[in-house]
Amino acid sequence: MATKPNVSVKVGKDEPIERALRRFKRLCEKQGIKKQVKARRYYTKPSEAKRMELRKAERNRQKTDRKGKEKNKYQKDSRNWMFNHPKLSEE
């Protein structure tokens, strides 16, 4: 089994408990505890886990492809912006 995350927060003498609680929540988020708890709510078969990972990888690949196309579209237009600009091309 994986190591247990160790998160502790020391509360100062005059520090409000709300601030300490906020720091605790932030540390838990950084450690990924919330994500772990959510994943372990129910048993996931290894085949399902593999399938979910493949789907996630496919979504990420499509997202990067889509962002790359958008980036290239703007780069093509911005290269010759001077020649395509209506006010500058009249001169």
- Structure confidence by residue, pLDDT tens digits, 27-55: 999 998 988 888 889 999 999 999 999 99
The pLDDT value given to residue 63: 92
What value does the mean pLDDT take over residues 54-66?
Answer: 94
DSSP calls for the chain? -PPPP----PPPSS--HHHHHHHHHHHHHHHTHHHHHHHTSS---HHHHHHHHHHHHHHHHHHHHHHHHHHHHHHHHHHTHHHH-HHHH--
The pLDDT value given to residue 74: 57
The pLDDT value given to residue 69: 78
The pLDDT value given to residue 77: 53
The pLDDT value given to residue 78: 55
The pLDDT value given to residue 80: 58
- Is the C-alpha dihedral spanning 69, 70, 72, 77 positive or negative? positive
Higher pLDDT, 15 or 67: 15
